[in-house]
Amino acid sequence: MSDERDDHQTPTGEQPDGERAPRRPRSTDPLELGFTPRKPVPWLAPFLLISTGIRTLLAILFGAYLDKRELQNAFGDDIFRQAGPDGGLWLDYVADLGDGFHATYSVAYLLAQPELTVDGHRLPRAQTLVMGGDQVYPSAAYAEYENRCKGPYQAALPATPPDRPTLFAVPGNHDWYDGLTAFLRLFVRSRDRNFAGWRTGQSRSYFAVELPAGWWLLGVDDQSGSYLDDPQLAYFDEVARRLTPESKVIIAAPSPTWVKAADDPTAYDSIDYFVRTIIDPTGAQVRLLLSGDLHHYARYAGPDRQLITCGGGGAYLYPTHKLPERIEVPPRDTLTRRASRTQPYDLVARYPDAARSRRYGWGIFARLPFRNPGFTTLLGTLHTLLMLAMAGATANWADSTNQRLFSVPLVLMVLVTVVAAALFAKPPSANGKRHARHWILGVSHGVAQVALAAGGTWVWLALPFYDWPWPLPAAAAAVLYGPVIGLVASQLVAAYLLVAGSFGVNVNELFAGQGIEDSKSFLRLRIDPDGTLTVYPIGVDRVSRDWQVNPDDSPTASWLTPKTPLNPHLTESPIVLR
């Protein structure tokens, strides 16, 4: 393995590669900022749902035939070292960050400040920043990285401060949608090794960092839960030669598979294999597993390690009230022949708390139609066609050839509606634990939509519009009936999501459809020279939505500041590991 790199022994006081700090904007105009601040992704928009599904399919096929991790064997194989001037280290962890500007920049702004005072704790800016996956949404297009990720972080920390903080990144499933092309261009590069005011350190999509006092940080890339490739395992085999029984390991994983294994027993297999074959033979201890992917904060405590999910970097909030109170890791029913010994882990903290999470769920009625206007329009179109089909089958329409040609087959429309609702419930494969539950709720939702269409048809036939000369009835239906029934149907979908969510079905859609920007979170960790690790989980109840140009024109000062100060707080008491 090549020589290790110490990222805090290089000269300070200059920009990397001799670059000057970028010109400071005089307004919030995109031409001044150099990027376009984006609104939150409308996750239920029809075209977005289709394109995301296609991208996911292509990513799966692409990964099967050309895995860029296999090509990374030709890249550098450095082991990195991070340490502060006092022999300790401050380290930040943030994940799921590249969504709407207000939430993403609120978190980036806090990460970039020279110091935060949180519930009486003075926390200086971290010397190392770890991005834990899904640095961009909805796709991995380079323009989206610029507008949703790099641009906001550039505005938060425009120039490299004297302590020259370093950035490491783990790719998540959204980063994989283009086969890691844009991710590698941003975070793994041989020149211009900086990302806003942070220097980029890694030479592959995974990394190993030696931290003070025997701690190690290992970032793994399991290609959206598929497997760990051979070059990656060979890399970590070399890293393992440096580990001793006194070493303590932090693993940054793309997904909290310890939670997902409750429904899919195979989900944790890759991480278990990694721990069992790479780390355990050295005698080192894995004390902490970190992940994003689920957009909230949650901590499971076990006999010898902590499992923390912290995906609150900017993406829509994911609920906490459906988290299992106890999990077994690895699960007992995994098919792995040589699994590690199963250990129980208890849910000891979450943010937001369960009560607030439930209250957020009820907001689906108000948020769904207005955060997803395309989805509401789709519902209105579908119900208008359903109404015309039902009206054509029940009303005494004039004997017109045009009307016969326009008439929509009723059976076909009913079938499309029920099947679409069933697929929306995303029934898992036959070995899924809640297979029947998904089908029952999905089909019931489809029947309810058909019933709503029948009621809408009855009301429409009671009105005078269908007696108008053709094609005025169809035009009136499109202009008057469509928008009204679309809004009503969206409320039926909202009611379905709320009920289904209580059974653990469509929980993601219940919150994705709302695009909740608040209740964001990140971690600030401190490793003392004596080896004590303290984790400060930081939450922000409400992100800023109103920004102003910062009058401070020093190179490292954030370009924009919130008009109303952000109020970070601890989501639970600091966690201390030794």
Tens-digit pLDDT profile for residues 505-522: 889 899 998 999 999 999
Task: Tell me the range of 113-127, 195-209, 397-411 where mean pLDDT is highest.
Answer: 113-127
Tell me the percentage of the chain whose pLDDT exceeds 90. 46
pLDDT category of residue 7 using cuts at 50, 70 and 90: very low
Mean pLDDT of 137-154: 87
Tell me the percentage of the chain whose pLDDT exceeds 70. 85
pLDDT category of residue 415 using cuts at 50, 70 and 90: confident
Find the length of the chain.
578
Strand 248-253 relative to strand 297-301, pairing: unpaired
Query: In the chain, what are the domains?
Result: 46-352+519-577 (3.60.21.10), 361-513 (no CATH)
Structure confidence by residue, pLDDT tens digits, 428-475: 554 445 578 888 899 999 999 999 988 888 888 888 776 677 677 777
Q: Tell me the pTM.
A: 0.89
Mean pLDDT of 470-492: 84
What is the model's pLDDT at position 13? Answer: 37
What is the model's pLDDT at position 14? Answer: 43
Question: Is the distance from CB of 486 to CB of 379 less than 8 angstroms?
Answer: yes
Task: Tell me the range of 63-77, 162-176, 384-398 where mean pLDDT is highest.
Answer: 162-176
Does residue 178 surpass a pLDDT of 80? no
pLDDT category of residue 403 using cuts at 50, 70 and 90: very low
Element (H, E) at 435: helix 435-461
Residue 89, classified by CB atoms within 10 Å of its CB into exposed (0-12), middle (13-18) or buried (19+), is: buried
Mean pLDDT of 258-267: 84
pLDDT category of residue 310 using cuts at 50, 70 and 90: very high
Structure confidence by residue, pLDDT tens digits, 238-258: 999 999 999 999 999 999 989
Cα–Cα dist 268/95, whole Å: 19
What is the model's pLDDT at position 10? Answer: 37
What is the model's pLDDT at position 75? Answer: 61
More reliable by pLDDT, 118 or 400: 118
Q: What is the dihedral of CA 63, 251, 188, 17, to 10 degrees?
A: 170
Mean pLDDT of 267-275: 88
Cα–Cα dist 391/454, whole Å: 9
Cα–Cα dist 315/96, whole Å: 6
In angstroms and rounded to an integer, the radius of gyration of the C-alpha atoms of the chain is 26
Does residue 12 surpass a pLDDT of 60? no
